[in-house]
């Protein structure tokens, strides 16, 4: 029970953020409920003091120096002792640039925004959530304190303008369809790519306000969003923009034909596309332009802080009504790009099962793959052995598999924002930087939970059998044997592996087929019904991944599902426990390693 | 209690994790212009003129060719160069701001001039733009591609606004305070770079390709004359003193070196 509790406390906590573990599988229901109740009380308390933080006090400073300063720096410049390795860097509060706001572009956040982000933390970065580590009171105090780092908070004359969430358009297919058009029209595509995987043509060259490289969000992975992936969150993010990042604000007149009704807009588009205009057409389009200029003028007058007349206000409201409608459609479209929740990791009931088929196995683009549910393997940055990856860009790998009497085929799928094949080299090693994937199996399947585990990150005893694929040789997988993270050797005898791969819209697909049995003693031999450990490493060349600087999974399990059975295959609880244990083991290994470091 | 333990453990973890340091571009602090505490506009009659030429001193750095990474048809049609240092014939230094530091009274802005900055062939023109406080700058998009206008203001509100390919003119809200020069970027085309100075009085000039500048209608008196250049820095610590006589012209040249 205590174990469970710590797990769920951690769920929103420190380690999860630091190590990028946010796996819901560690949830222990009962504890979570208890925690939820406690937090519920907290949030009720906070409603009472919502909106405005108290005056900055000694207490706030104390909390800050104890909990925040080692990242954000004593003076709030984002230069604390721990900042060095982190990307994105801990925020420099002195410039007043805040990403997650409910306020319009150019405005500072509300106190509530700051309170919320401190409470929740920022997924995909090292910014932890403080929901459990600090009381609501302490969080309010620290909000007041961090505001003192930027004079803009004190100097602002009026409360910041908040983005109105009125008139939300519910999610529907039509709405998503309209939103999809806007996604292209507004140019989200430039950075976020055709289907939102953060692979737009501008993605590789983006830098933040502090000149650090930064990547556009992979919109298909809502759990990596800094500020939450509810439709409302998305809506606020693109309207207000993400200050300090390259992400622009898409407000008011950023939208096509601001100030025109949708009929007028349609008509103007027609007129603009005409080869020849009559005088009347010319007149009509000029009227439209004038109307748009007026609307823009009113919007600017408002932005400049001048009071609008009643007529101007009406014009503004009319124009904004249309913009807000479009914005909800766009938010619905972005929402449609992601699964409702982050997929569960492939443990317990979600163990990777290779399905038996009679006859030929599906090719890479076979529709048969659609019939099989992908299993999901979250990746984390490898930070135990030098060189390390503190800022991983690959989130997870999905796997499907089929087998027949003689062969097994896998389809590995993972998102990578750039297609990197080794044109650039790593500065320290001189080796080419390229995208790659390794799939690890033990050479011999361990028998039972007490058998020695295959090596993991250099600590184990048994060699592993590896498939190594590189983007520069897209139709080839090399077999390796490894006795440690840095001790891999190419096998002398290479099995006859069939390999195909594709890279489309920020996603790799790798298809590998091998015989169940090979002659080579160094290869893994496969048998139906036997649970086989499997683990992955992935390299994103454009993120500087090379050698041990990469993303990794812990050991999972896969099985060639015994055939053909109409009954659901039941997994021995032992296996479920084992893979759960290994997941915890990875955590423990990371912790141990760091503690060792500390004591030396 | 447990959470505190965890939190402190994690703090330790973060603190002791050592890894590579990131090399962000060394972002030397941009020097700022100096503005008078207050400025009163009135009509100036029989003012004087300050003019001169700004030259580059030292080995002229070769202009860096820009790497055009997207929208080749529009952006890569001609070769593009980094405009941080543009040196013309006779070492003339373009894009230097020359201005009066301590003027508190003088002419008003010329309200008739349209303030525009174009995005053309995926470069900003002009590279340095003076924008009076309270006046709207209109961003033009002559390219049929999407741009985002990212203005890194800190005294005024920062701006980052998409200007889509079909938006030819996008006026921006006027700012309230003097500031700058602030950097302007387009993140979609990462090489695009320009500067805007938001100024409280009209005695600012930007040198042309001949390195020339002219400040007209300056009320007679002695002033501190300042310069600012993106790569050569500024002289705000030790400005030049110039004395303008009514109706007269003084010439003050500058020779600037890389910072």
pLDDT tops 90 at residue A506: yes
Q: Which candidate from A85, A191, A243 shows the least CB-CB separation from B19?
A: A85
Q: Which of A108, A594, A599 to mutate to test the interface with B (most CBs of B within 10 A)?
A: A594
Residue-wise over A251-286: b if at least 16 C-beta within 10 A, else e? bbbbbbbbbbeeebbebbeeeeeeeeeeeeeeebbe
Q: Which of A84, A250, A305 is facing B21, going by the closest CB pair?
A: A84
Task: Tally helices (H) and strands (E) across chain A.
Answer: 15, 16
Contact assignment for B188 to A187 by CB distance below 8 Å: yes
Q: Which residue of B has its CA nearest to A299?
A: B173
Question: Looking at the domain assignment, is residue A342 inside a domain?
Answer: no
Do A413 and A514 share a domain, yes or no?
yes
Q: What is residue A11's predicted lDDT score, i.e. its pLDDT?
A: 32
What three-state secondary structure class fits B112?
coil
**A343 belongs to a structural domain:** no
**A14 and A87 in a common domain:** no
Q: Which of B71, B136, B160 sits opposite A249 (nearest CB)?
A: B160
Size of interface A-B (CB pairs under 8 A): 165
What is the enclosing helix (H) or strand (E) of B229? strand B221-229
Of A381-385, B63-67, B209-213, the least confident? A381-385
The reply to whether A60 touches chain B by the CB within 8 Å rule is: no
Alpha-carbon distances of A526 from A409, A444, A446, A558, B209, rounded to whole Å: 12, 10, 13, 11, 74
The CATH architecture to which B34-256 belongs is Sandwich (2.60)
Number of domains in chain A: 5
Residue numbers of the domain that contains A324? 173-336
Highest average pLDDT, of A64-73, A149-158, A387-396, comes from: A64-73
For residue A390, the model assigns a pLDDT of 87
The answer as to whether A164 is a domain residue is no
Q: Is residue A367 part of a domain?
A: yes
Same domain, A366 and A446: yes
Q: In angstroms, what is the C-alpha Rg of chain B?
A: 22
The total number of residues written for chain B in this structure: 259
Which of A67, A256, A305 is nearest residue B164 as measured by Cβ atoms? Answer: A256
Q: Do A187 and B162 touch (CB under 8 A)?
A: yes
Chain A nearest CA to B102, separation (Å): 26
Asked if residue A364 and residue A504 are part of one domain, the reply reads yes
Classify residue A167: in a domain, yes or no: no
Rg (CA), chain A: 27
Residues A242 and A331 in one domain: yes
- pLDDT band for position B22 (cuts 50, 70, 90): very low
CATH number reported for the structural domain that contains residue A354 in this entry:
2.60.40.1190
- Identify the pLDDT of residue A575: 52
Question: Does A42 contact chain B (CB < 8 Å)?
Answer: no
Find the closest chain A residue to B71 by CA distance: A201
A312, A336, A360 - which closes a domain:
A336
**% of chain B beyond a pLDDT of 90:** 80
Is B194's pLDDT higher than 50?
yes
Domain ranges, ordered by start, for chain B:
1-30, 34-256
Same domain, A410 and A434: yes
Angle at alpha carbon of residue A540, lines to A121 and A82, rounded to 5°: 40
ipTM of the complex: 0.86
Q: Which of A336, A360, A381 is the last residue before a domain boundary? A: A336
Looking at residues A173-182, what average pLDDT do you find?
Answer: 97
CATH number of the domain to which A97 belongs: 1.10.760.10
Nearest-by-Cβ selection for A202 from B12, B27, B70: B70
Last residue of a domain, one of A286, A305, A336: A336
Apex CA A464: angle with CA A461 and CA A466, to 5°? 160
- Mean pLDDT for chain A? 85
Q: Find the mean pLDDT for residues A515-529.
A: 90
Task: Name the DSSP class of A20.
Answer: T
Alpha-carbon gap: B197 to the closest alpha carbon of chain A (Å): 18
A326 lies in the same domain as A416:
no
User: Is residue A166, in this structure, part of any structural domain at all?
Assistant: no
The reported pLDDT for the residue numbered A385 is: 85
Within 8 A of A126 by CB-CB distance, chain B residues are 14
| Pair A472, A327 in one domain | no
A142 with A191, same domain: the answer is: no
Peptide bond into A529 cis (omega under 30): no
DSSP letter at A198? Answer: S
Q: Which of chain A's residues have a Cβ under 8 Å away from the Cβ of B167?
A: 254, 256
> B58-103, pLDDT tens digit by residue?
999 988 999 999 999 999 999 999 999 999 999 999 999 999 999 9
Q: Are A254 and B24 within 8 A, CB to CB? A: no
Instruction: Centre a 10 Å sphere on the Cβ of residue A519 and count the other Cβ atoms it contains.
Output: 9
| A88 shares a domain with A177 | no
Res. A553: pLDDT tops 80? yes
Residue carrying structure tokens 């306000």: A209
Q: DSSP readout, B212-223?
A: EEEEEEEPSEEE
> Are residues A324 and A440 both part of a single domain?
no
For β-strands A556-560 and A380-381, DSSP reports them as unpaired
CB contact under 8 A, B161 and A209: no
CB spacing of A15 vs B4 below 8 angstroms: no
Helix-strand-coil percent breakdown of chain B, rounded to 5?
10, 40, 55
- Let me know whether A440 and A576 are in one domain: no
DSSP B168-228: -EEE-PPPSS-EEEEEEE-STTTT-EEEEEEESSS-EEE--TT-EEEEEEEPSEEEEEEEE
């Amino acid at each position: 029970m205590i174990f469970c509790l710590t797990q769920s406390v951690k769920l929103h906590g420190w380690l999860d953020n630091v190590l990028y573990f946010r796996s819901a599988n560690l949830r222990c229901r009962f504890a979570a409920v208890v925690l939820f109740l406690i937090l519920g009380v907290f949030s009720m308390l906070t409603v009472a003091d919502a909106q405005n933080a108290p005056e900055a006090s000694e207490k706030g400073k104390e909390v800050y120096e104890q909990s925040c300063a080692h990242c954000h720096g004593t003076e709030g410049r984002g230069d604390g002792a721990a900042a060095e390795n982190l990307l994105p860097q801990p925020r420099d509060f002195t410039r007043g640039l805040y990403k997650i706001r409910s306020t319009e572009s150019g405005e500072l956040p509300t106190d509530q925004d700051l309170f919320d982000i401190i409470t929740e933390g920022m997924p995909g970065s090292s910014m932890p959530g403080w929901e459990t580590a600090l009381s609501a009171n302490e969080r309010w105090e620290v909000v007041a304190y961090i505001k003192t780092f930027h004079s803009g908070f004190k100097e602002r004359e009026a409360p910041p303008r908040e983005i109105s969430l009125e008139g939300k358009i519910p999610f529907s297919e039509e709405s998503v369809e309209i939103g999809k058009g806007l996604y292209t029209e507004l140019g989200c595509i430039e950075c976020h790519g055709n289907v939102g995987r953060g692979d737009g043509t501008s993605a590789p060259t983006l830098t933040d306000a502090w000149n650090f490289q930064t990547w556009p969000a992979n919109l298909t992975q809502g759990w990596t969003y800094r500020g939450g992936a509810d439709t409302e969150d998305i809506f606020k993010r693109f309207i207000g923009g993400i200050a300090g990042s390259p992400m622009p604000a898409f407000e008011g007149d950023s939208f096509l034909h601001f100030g025109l009704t949708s009929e007028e807009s349609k008509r103007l588009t027609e007129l603009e596309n005409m080869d020849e205009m009559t005088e009347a057409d010319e007149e009509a389009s000029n009227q439209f332009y004038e109307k748009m200029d007026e609307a823009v003028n009113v919007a600017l007058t408002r932005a400049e802080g001048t009071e609008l007349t009643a007529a101007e206000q009406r014009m503004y409201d009319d124009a904004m009504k249309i913009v807000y409608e479009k914005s909800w459609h766009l938010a619905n479209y972005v929402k449609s790009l992601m699964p409702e929740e982050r997929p569960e990791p492939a443990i317990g009931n979600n163990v990777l099962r290779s399905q038996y088929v009679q006859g030929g196995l599906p090719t890479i683009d076979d529709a048969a793959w659609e019939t099989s549910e992908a299993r999901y393997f979250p990746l984390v940055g490898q930070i135990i052995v030098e060189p390390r990856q503190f800022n991983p860009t690959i989130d997870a790998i999905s796997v499907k598999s089929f087998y027949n009497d003689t062969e097994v085929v896998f389809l590995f799928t993972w998102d990578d924002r750039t297609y990197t094949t080794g044109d650039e080299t790593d500065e320290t090693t001189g080796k080419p930087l390229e995208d790659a994937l390794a799939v690890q199996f033990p050479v011999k399947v361990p028998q039972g939970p007490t058998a020695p585990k295959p090596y993991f990150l250099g600590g184990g005893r048994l060699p592993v059998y590896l498939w190594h694929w590189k983007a520069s040789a897209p139709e080839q997988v090399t077999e390796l044997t490894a006795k440690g993270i840095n001790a891999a050797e190419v096998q002398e005898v290479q099995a006859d592996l069939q390999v195909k791969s594709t890279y489309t819209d920020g996603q790799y697909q790798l298809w590998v087929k091998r015989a169940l049995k090979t002659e080579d003693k160094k290869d893994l031999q496969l048998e139906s019904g036997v649970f086989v450990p499997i683990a992955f490493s992935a390299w994103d060349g454009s993120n500087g991944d090379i050698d041990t600087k990469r993303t990794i999974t812990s050991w999972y399990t896969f099985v060639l599902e015994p055939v053909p059975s109409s009954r659901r295959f039941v997994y021995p609880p032992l296996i479920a426990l084992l893979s759960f244990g290994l997941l915890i083991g990875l955590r423990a290994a990371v912790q141990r390693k760091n503690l060792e470091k500390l004591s030396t | 209690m447990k959470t505190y333990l965890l939190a402190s453990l994690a703090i330790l973890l973060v603190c002791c994790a050592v890894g590579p340091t990131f090399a962000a571009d060394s972002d030397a602090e941009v020097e700022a212009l100096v503005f008078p505490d207050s400025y009163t506009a009135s009509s100036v009659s029989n003012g004087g003129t300050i003019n001169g030429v700004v030259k580059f001193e030292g080995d002229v750095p070769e202009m860096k060719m820009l790497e055009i990474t997207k929208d080749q048809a529009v952006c890569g049609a001609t070769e593009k160069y980094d405009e941080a240092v543009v040196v013309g014939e006779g070492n003339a230094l373009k894009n230097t701001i020359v201005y009066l530091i301590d003027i508190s009274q003088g002419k008003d802005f010329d309200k008739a001039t349209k303030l525009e900055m174009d995005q053309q062939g995926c470069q900003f023109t002009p590279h340095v733009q003076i924008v009076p406080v309270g006046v709207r700058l209109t961003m033009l998009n002559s390219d049929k591609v999407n741009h985002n206008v990212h203005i890194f203001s800190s005294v005024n509100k920062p701006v980052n606004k998409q200007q889509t390919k079909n938006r030819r003119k996008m006026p921006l809200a006027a700012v309230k305070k003097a500031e700058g020069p602030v950097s302007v970027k387009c993140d979609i085309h990462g090489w695009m770079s320009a500067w805007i100075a938001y100024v409280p009085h009209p005695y600012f000039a930007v040198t042309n390709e001949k390195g020339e500048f002219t400040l007209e209608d300056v009320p007679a008196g002695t002033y501190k004359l300042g310069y600012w250049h993106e790569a050569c820095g500024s002289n705000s610590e030790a400005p030049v003193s110039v004395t303008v006589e009514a109706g007269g012209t003084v010439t003050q040249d500058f020779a600037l070196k890389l910072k």
